[in-house]
Amino acid sequence: MTYLETTPNAHPDYRSGKRDRIASLAEDADFRALSAAWRNMAQQRQYMHNFSWMGRPLIQFPMDAMAIQEIIWSVRPDLIIETGIAHGGSLALCASMLELLGGDRMVLGVDIDIRAHNRTAIEQHPMAHRIRMIEGSSTSPDVVDAVHKFAADRKKVVVLLDSNHTHDHVLAELNAYASLVSPDSYCVVFDTFVEDMPDDFVWVDRPWGKGNNPKTAVREWMASHPEFAIDRTFEDHLLITSAPEGFLKRVS
Ligand SMILES: C[S@@+](CC[C@H](N)C(=O)[O-])C[C@H]1O[C@@H](n2cnc3c(N)ncnc32)[C@H](O)[C@@H]1O
- Out of 90, 112, 165, 173, mutate this one to test ligand 1's pocket (max ligand atoms within 8 Å of CB): namely 112
Phi then psi for residue 53, to 5 deg, are: -130, 120
Report the separation in Å between the CA atom of 231 and the middle of ligand 1, taken as the mean of its atom positions. Answer: 24
pLDDT at position 29 is 98
Q: Each residue of 10-27: pLDDT tens digit?
A: 999 999 999 999 999 999
pLDDT value for 26: 95
186 vs 230: CA distance, rounded Å: 10
* pLDDT tens digit sequence for 31-56: 999 999 999 999 999 999 999 999 99
Query: Among 50, 68, 71, 85, which residue has the most ligand 1 atoms within 8 Å of its CB, making it the best to mutate?
Result: 85
pLDDT score at 131: 99
- The pLDDT of residue 2: 83
Does residue 134 surpass a pLDDT of 80?
A: yes
Spell out a b/e string for 113-124, using b for 16 or more CB atoms within 10 Å of the CB, else e: ebeeebeebbee
What band does 3 get if pLDDT is binned at 50, 70 and 90?
A: confident
Strand partners, 160: 82, 188
How far is the C-alpha of 188 from the C-alpha of 160, rounded, in Å?
Answer: 5
Alpha-carbon torsion 216, 189, 25, 194, what sign? negative
Distance 60 CA to ligand 1 centre (A): 12
Could you tell me the domains of the chain? 3-250 (3.40.50.150)
136-178 pLDDT, tens digit each: 999 999 999 999 999 999 999 999 999 999 999 999 999 999 9
Does the CB atom of residue 242 touch ligand 1 within 6 A?
A: no
Ligand 1 neighbourhood includes 90 CB (under 6 angstroms): yes
Separation in Å, CA 97 to CA 5, 69, 112, 131, 205? 17, 7, 25, 12, 34
Q: Is the pLDDT of residue 1 over 90?
A: no
Q: What is the pLDDT of residues 167-221, one digit of tens each?
A: 999 999 999 999 999 999 999 999 999 999 999 898 988 999 999 999 999 999 9
Ligand 1, pocket-test mutation among 90, 162, 165, most atoms within 8 A of CB: 162
Nearest CA residue ID for atom 16, ligand 1: 164
pLDDT value of position 113: 98
Q: What is the mean pLDDT of residues 108-121?
A: 98
